[in-house]
Amino acid sequence: MAQDYGSINLSQGFPDFDCPDRLKELVAFYINDKKNQYPPMAGIPLLRQEISNKINSLYGFDANPETEVTVTSGATEALFDAVQATVHQGDEVIIFDPAYDSYEPAILMAGGIPVRLPLRLSDYGIDWNRAADAITSRTRLIIINTPHNPCGVTLNRSDLDALAELVTETDILILSDEVYEHMVFDGEKHVSVLSHPSLKERSFAVFSFGKTYHATGWKLAYCVARPELMVEFRKIHQFVTFTTTSFLQYAIADFMAECPQHATELSDFYQAKRDDFCRLIQDSRFRFTPSKGTYFQLVDYSEISDQPDMDFVAELTRDKGVAAIPLAPFYRQAPDSRIIRFCFCKDDSTLERAAEILCAL
């Protein structure tokens, strides 16, 4: 619709600026250096070693690059592989609404039963007592997402402690979607399951190069898990994509070694964009709490319209010239609220033009 109506696109989560110039130079080099044939199924050794170095540095998890790291064709593939590797017919999988839209289809394709628990409306946190009540003898997997898409909230150490307590003395596994790991704001640090002493033993952790390097179209990501879990993960990966684009892997491995500051400075980069966008719309009739992570900002439009969110964003795109995303599709049963999501990973000029329209509503 944004394309059809020439609207400013603050909907789907991709930047309207390009990836780093040095990274593009490395990609071009490796295309011309004949790195265009099948790489190893799990990813080139150099990239897996760089991933291991990074994970150890940030989260204190000493991942064996041979047995505990697998490069995938995007995070959605990694999430799918982990679900297919662990969930069997009739198994229950707990996910939290609003949930990223690839979780439930992967569960259903594995023959599993999605158990969707709503996040608290007040702060989009997890009600751990309700989660405890939802666990049964058939619970196989719990999927968490931090920083969270679409809500822009984060889990903290006490959340992971609560999760660990739930699964103690069970065989329940954890799938942790951490693709926005480098977008955590206000001086906070990303808390990974890989840094938790008990959760790291039973978790698949999924990360994204596309999100980190402003290159979502490259569809390059990775999963980290203990060897016994990774063995099963790779059985699925082998027959989903088998392997992932060779020259991109070589380029990213070099870029990780040359430019580690890109990832470590990314939170500051996106916090500045969040702050600018929130400042630009602070005099509008939208109400919001600044997001804690990701490059998404939720806003309440109830002072502007009482339309359902799908209708409101359609009108906003068609008649006003700004595209947003409704929250309803992220729920099985959406609450009666007036919340939509804007994406602020855009050039400053894009955000300024959009904000001018939004402030006039």
Task: Report pTM.
Answer: 0.97
Q: What is the pLDDT of residue 194?
A: 98
Confidence at residue 203, expressed as pLDDT on a 0 to 100 scale: 98
Rounded to 10°, the helix 45-59/246-258 angle is 40
pLDDT value for 259? 97
Q: According to the model, what pLDDT value does residue 274 have?
A: 98
Position 360 scores a pLDDT of 97
pLDDT at 89: 98
Cα-based distances in Å from 29 to 13, 162, 252, 253, 333: 29, 47, 12, 13, 49
- Cα dihedral 161, 129, 76, 314, rounded to 10, equals -130
Summarised one tens digit per residue, pLDDT across range 11-55 is: 989 999 999 999 999 999 999 999 999 999 999 999 999 999 999
Classify domain 2-18+264-359 by CATH number: 3.90.1150.10
The mean per-residue pLDDT over the stretch 171-200 comes to 98
**Does residue 221 contact residue 74 with C-beta atoms inside 8 Å?**
yes
Write out pLDDT tens, residues 85-130: 999 999 999 999 999 999 999 999 999 999 999 999 999 999 999 9
Q: Which long-range contacts (CB under 8 A, 24 or more apart) does 324-330 make?
A: 324/10, 324/11, 325/11, 325/12, 325/150, 327/98, 327/150, 327/298, 329/101, 330/97, 330/98, 330/99, 330/100, 330/101, 330/150
Q: What is the pLDDT of residue 296?
A: 98
pLDDT tens track for 50-71: 999 999 999 999 999 999 999 9
Enumerate the CATH 3.90.1150.10 domain ranges in the chain, comma separated: 2-18+264-359
> Which amino acid would we find at residue 13?
G
d(Cα 359, Cα 31) in Å, to the nearest integer? 46
Q: Do the strands 339-343 and 325-326 form a parallel or antiparallel pair, or are they unpaired?
A: antiparallel
- Please give the Cα distance from 211 to 232 (Å, whole number): 26
Cα–Cα distance between 253 and 257 in angstroms, integer? 7
- Per-residue pLDDT, 319: 97
Structure confidence by residue, pLDDT tens digits, 272-311: 999 999 999 999 999 999 999 999 999 999 999 999 999 9
> What whole-number distance in Å separates Cα of residue 360 and Cα of residue 16?
24
Asked if 142 and 93 count as a contact pair (C-beta separation under 8 A), the reply is: yes
Task: Considering the chain, tell me which residue range(s) the CATH 3.40.640.10 domain(s) occupy.
Answer: 21-258
Query: Residue 209, by phi and psi: left (phi above 0), alpha (psi -120 to 50) or beta?
Result: alpha
- Based on its alpha-carbon atoms, the radius of gyration of the chain, rounded to whole angstroms, reads 20
Mean pLDDT for the chain overall: 97
Burial class (CB in 10 A: 0-12, 13-18, 19+), 61: buried
The fold of the 21-258 domain, in CATH, is Aspartate Aminotransferase; domain 2 (3.40.640)
* Residue 211: both structure tokens together: 């999100």
CA 52, distance to chain mean position in Å, is 20
